[in-house]
Structure 1
Amino acid sequence: MNTVARLNDWMRERSWAIAMTVAIVITVGGLVILETGRQRIAGEYETALEAKGATVQLGTLAAQLAQLTADESTFLLTKQQLGASGFCATAGKIRQTSQQLDAYFRHRADSAEQASFSQIAWLIEARTGAGRDALQHAAPDVDLANCPVTTAARPVDIALVESTLTLLRDNEERRAQHALDASRTDQRISTFVAGGLSALNIVLFILLFRNLGIQFERQARVQRQLVTQQEELDQLVTERTRQLEALGWHLQAVSENEKTQLARELHDELGAILTASKMDVAWANRKLKDNEPVISEKLMRALANLDQGIALKRRIIEDMRPTVLANFGLVTALRTLGDEAAQRNGWMLDQHLPDDDIKLDEQTEIALFRVAQEALTNAAKYANASRVSIGLTMHADQVALYIADNGIGITPADLRRTHTHGLLGMRQRVAARGGRFDIRRGVAGGTDIRVTMPTVSTIKPSGEAASASSARSTDSPPVTAPEART
């Protein structure tokens, strides 16, 4: 009695583990049965499909034999090359179908069916050879080069061939039907096993429900803690993002004001120095031109160097502060920029710009101009292009800039690189004005850049950046700096 009691206690204490073990064993066994049944069903279904395919091919072969006889009769009546060509084409199709069926019967059929088809194949080959000989005899000059060459040529009883093909076709039909019936039986068995496994899983779920409830409660507590921590992290990320945005606006304002101040100093101070130096050297050259030709030659070279320095100073100032944009507007600035780039790089230029200038706020015009400038610079450095297109369209509340080239095209790896400062700068400049920047490989090659921006930007500085920007704007208006080259 004590032994029975201990056994009962042990069973009650470990009933959950026992139920799990039994359920696992039954589930694994059922899965093995299901997998075996699935493989058997797949094999039977494949056998049925192959038998159906062989049935169709046998029917096709019978139809091709009838067509062969018809083509032969047509030629014998008309003696035209068209009939002979049809006969040869049909003979080629018959040989191809026979080879496919021969491969099937060698791998799938029994020895009797294989022997029957081999005999039929030989008779069909003989029938084809006899037909070819008949065509050659009826018209010796007919072109039969495209007809298959046969090793046998003799009269054949077509009725015997057709009856044998019909018999083989019926056998394949029965084979396919038998495979389908076996497949249905296996499917019913698999359905029964699946139902049993489902019932077992339901019982198992009932046994596990109580334990799962405890686990769910524990997970809910952990989830609440994770949500609290996530909210704290989100708040921290939001705060850091606002600080970075403010810092970005501040740095942009500082950079633009510094470049504006530098452009002014270059124009006023360096320009005055270079101009005064040029005037003094020119005066000295005039005085010494007749008496000191050697010194005059040196002074002429000095004048040329001063001219180059003045031109370089103008280009630097123009890069820092595009005067053509400020004086003549965005359309003229883009047209001038495109013409200069095309002339410098030997491009064919397609411009699709408005005839009249369009009115935009200053920062939007500078952003679009700098994007175009950076895109043309990249095309000159990397694209190896011969044709470049520039387009600008104006809508009700948006302006769109389009730049494309026919060069080697940008690659996905280039788009994923994080150190391409030129692309990053263009994206940030457009995003800062509430626009959209899209760069992709062209359909016919090359690179396409599309920029869409609102006509009046709704993006405003925040925090410290706004204060810094407002404070510096009292000195001079900010001018957007050129992008770093990629």
Structure 2
Amino acid sequence: METAVSGEAQAGAEARLAARLADWMHQRSWAIAMTVAIVITCGGLVILETARQRIASEYEAALEARSVSMQLSELDRRLAQLQTHESRFLLTKNDTDARGYCSRATDLQRNIRSLDTYFRRAADSAELASFTQIAALIDARIGSGAQALQRASSHPLDLAACGGAAQGSSADASLVTSTLALLRDNEERRAQRALDASRADQRVSTLVAAGLSALNIVLFILLFRNLGTQIDSQARAQKQLITQQEELDRLVNERTRQLEALGWHLQAVSENEKTQLARELHDELGAILTASKMDVAWARRKMQDADPVIAEKLARALATLDQGIALKRRIIEDMRPTVLANFGLVTALRTLGDEAAQRNGWALDLQLPDDELQLDEQTEIALFRVAQESLTNAAKYARATQITIALGAGHGEVALHIADNGIGIMPGDLTRTHTHGLMGMRQRVAARGGRFDIRRGELHGTDIRVVLPVPTVGATKEARGEPVDDAQDDSLARNHSTPVERL
């Protein structure tokens, strides 16, 4: 009984192992098929490359053997020409034939040297011995012919052009011819054997390439079937991921809108608080300082003759009160510029630029409209704050000598451009969110639905460009709960119909 239970447990374990192995093979079948295909392809490429090299070598050997065979035939032909020149000279005693004899002799010796290099490198010992014998016979033939020409001539011949052939006995022409024919036959057979071997290697390469192609086709079919299943699974997962991504994008967009609304609300609250604080400073602190100055001035006049020392102290107190009043005015202007509220954005930018240029020694280039632009309060504040922060940064970091401020409106947008000729903003500062007040300017412009661009100038300096949409007066008044004047809206539309200046 226990043996039967043990056998069943072992069979169950083997079945689970086989199932896990089959599942693993199914999941990794594409990797296994790809690995096998790569290994087979690499092995086949090695085999094909080896076969290609062998075919190239055998083909080169066949060409070389054919070339040597042609050179041997050429050698035999020139031997015949040598005999012809010799016989003609013996008949005609013409020196031209003697020179032709020497020319053929030189060609023969040059061919022998070229063939000697080949036979010493590629031929066996028997072929090399045969060629060495032929070379000696040809050399003897040239020497004996030169002697015959010299004896037959009625005057001494200049046979130096014969190549300095050694004097020798007469050579057997039939032996030379038969040996040359034997060597030619050997080279022809060598060329044929090389060509046969090359063709055989080509057939083997073709069969190997066909086998590799067929095997790879089968493997790739299996691979693509498996990939098709996985692609379907991935497509379903991708579709689910896209759905989740769309939901996440919706939540991010909603949260972004909430943050933008919050940022705009905080900026509005900040501006309102600055306005309230500026009003309190002007009304209360200004009244206190003015009253104190009047009392001190009265006391100074009374004590000027009675006690000059106390009068001097009171004069110093008056100067201190004047400094406090000036500081109060500067703080109020920074928090809520009265010129912006009373005269508009164009006048406020001109005043801001003049004061900054005078304070920092800049050359100022103002490109502002002649008339005030009809903008809502929040747009004017946003543009003025950007200009204020830009000039502050230029004074702190730019080391500039010239500042350009340009403003233009048209096509429902207002554009502000501020540029300096300083050292220019560094590329690393463009990506840092807490440097030079960039974060505040970006948020202020983004809250109004505008575009903010800051970059390093083409030559030097820094360029800041801001484009904000201009809401209509009617929309602005509706937001404030004021009645809408259609005639004023038409006038504003006409004022804004001019194109935005290219800044």
Q: TM-score, normalised by structure 1?
A: 0.55
Stretch of structure 1 that moved more, 392-401 or 260-269: 392-401
Tell me: CA distance 1:192–1:337, structure 2 relative to 1, closer, same or farther (3 Å). farther
Greater RCO, 1 or 2 (C-alpha within 8 Å, sep 6+): 1
8 A Cα contact 2:449 2:468, kept in partner: yes
Cα deviation 1:243-292 (Å, max 9, x = unaligned) = 32332233223222211111111111111111111111111111111111
The alpha-carbon distance between structure 1 residues 371 and 20, as it changes in their structure 2 partners (threshold 3 A), is closer
SS in 2 for 1:449: strand
Tell me whether 1:312 sits opposite 2:312 in the alignment: no
Q: Does the alignment pair 1:345 with 2:333?
A: no
How much has 1:211 moved relative to structure 2? Answer: 2.7
Alignment counterpart, residue 29 of structure 1, candidates 34, 39, 43: 43
Distance change >3 Å, CA 374–CA 31, structure 1 → 2: farther
- Tell me if the contact between 2:261 and 2:447 (Cα under 8 Å) persists in the aligned partners: no
Q: CA deviation at 1:346?
A: 0.7
Partner of 1:266: 281
SS in 2 for 1:332: helix
Give the match's secondary structure for 1:453: strand
Q: CA deviation at 1:21?
A: 6.2
Letter in 2 for 1:24: I
Asked whether 1:254 is paired with 2:280, we answer no
Residues of 1 paired with 2:273 and 2:421: CA distance?
A: 37
Cα separation, partners in 2 of 1:20 and 1:392, compared to 1, 3 Å: closer
Read off the aligned partner of 2:275 and give its amino acid letter: T
Q: d(CA) in 2 for partners of 1:298 and 1:192?
A: 116
Cα 1:264–1:26, aligned 2, differ >3 Å: closer, same or farther?
same
* CA gap 1:35/1:316 in 2 versus in 1, 3 angstroms: farther
Letter of the aligned partner of 1:23 in structure 2? A
SS of residue paired to 1:439: strand
- Equivalent AA in structure 1 for residue 294 of structure 2: M
Residue 203 of structure 1: CA displacement? 2.4
Superposed CA offset, 1:395-425 (max 9, x none): 2322221111111011111101121261111
Distance 1:215 1:263, change over 3 A: same
1:323 aligns with 2:338: yes
Choose which of 429, 444, 455 in structure 2 pairs with 1:429: 444
Cα distance between partner residues in 2 of 1:225 and 1:412 = 40
Taking a change above 3 Å as real, the CA distance of residues 358 and 384 of structure 1, as seen in their structure-2 partners, is same
Kept in 2: contact 1:434–1:457 (CA 8 A):
no
2:469 match? 454
d(CA) in 1 for partners of 2:239, 2:404: 57
C-alpha displacement of 1:383: 0.5
* Aligned mates of 2:467, 2:386 — CA distance in 1: 11
Check 1:421–1:340 CA distance in 2 against 1; reply closer, same or farther (3 A cut). closer
Deviation at 1:304, TM superposition (A): 0.7
Give the match's secondary structure for 2:405.
Answer: strand
Which letter maps to 1:278? Answer: K
1:223 to 205, 229, 238: 238
Question: Secondary structure in 1 aligned to 2:238?
Answer: helix
Contact conserved, 1:433 with 1:457, CA < 8 A, in 2? no
1:362 and 2:362 aligned: no
Question: Which piece of structure 1 moves more, 283-292 or 24-33?
Answer: 24-33
Q: Which residue of 1 aligns with 2:389?
A: 374
Per the alignment, residue 303 of structure 1 pairs with 318
Cα shift readout 1:337-375 (whole Å, capped 9, x = no counterpart) = 111111111111112222222222221122111111111
Which ranges of structure 1 fall in alignment gaps of 5 or more residues? 1-9, 39-189, 462-468, 472-486
Instruction: Describe how 1:161-240 pairs up with structure 2 within 5 A.
Output: 200-240=215-255
2:306 corresponds in structure 1 to: 291
SS in 2 for 1:420: coil
Q: How do 1:50-69 and structure 2 match up within 5 A? A: none
Give 2:422's aligned residue. 407
Work out the CA distance in 1 between the residues paired with 2:51 and 2:439: 59
Deviation at 1:229, TM superposition (A): 3.8
Which SS does the other structure have where 2:449 is aligned?
coil
Q: Is the 8 A contact 1:387 1:405 kept in 2?
A: yes
Give the CA RMSD over aligned residues: 3.8
CA distance in 2, matches of 1:406, 1:316: 29
- The offset of 1:217, in angstroms, is 4.0
Closer, same or farther in 2 for the Cα pair 1:208/1:362, shift >3 Å?
Answer: same
Q: In the superposition, relative to structure 1, how do residues 434 and 413 fare at CA in structure 2: closer, same or farther (>3 Å)? A: same
Cα 1:381–1:37, aligned 2, differ >3 Å: closer, same or farther?
Answer: farther
Mapped contact 2:263–2:443 kept (Cα < 8 A): no
Gaps spanning 5+ residues in structure 2: where? Answer: 1-17, 53-204, 482-503
Q: CA deviation at 1:202?
A: 3.3
Counterpart residue identity of residue 346, structure 1: G
Residue pair 1:364, 1:457 contacting (<8 A) in 2 also: no
C-alpha distance 30-322 of structure 1, shift in aligned 2 (>3 A): farther
Distance in 2 of aligned mates of 1:278 and 1:310: 10
Moved more, 267-276 or 352-361: 352-361
Alignment-derived partner of residue 397 in structure 1? 412
Q: How does 1:84-123 map to 2 (within 5 A)?
A: none
Whole-Å separation in 2 of the counterparts to 1:394 and 1:442 = 23
Is the Cα contact below 8 Å between 2:34 and 2:223 reproduced in 1? Answer: no
Deviating more after overlay: 339-348 vs 422-431: 422-431
**TM-score w.r.t. structure 2 length?**
0.53
Question: Could you tell me whether the CA contact under 8 Å between 1:440 and 1:449 is conserved in 2?
Answer: yes
Please tell me whether the aligned partners of residues 281 and 302 of structure 1 are also in contact (alpha carbons under 8 angstroms).
yes
Work out whether residues 288 and 296 of structure 1, in 8 Å CA contact, stay in contact via their aligned partners in 2: yes
User: 2:206 and 2:367 mapped to 1: Cα distance?
Assistant: 68
Q: Share of identical aligned residues, percent?
A: 78
Alignment of 1:418 with 2:424, yes or no, is no
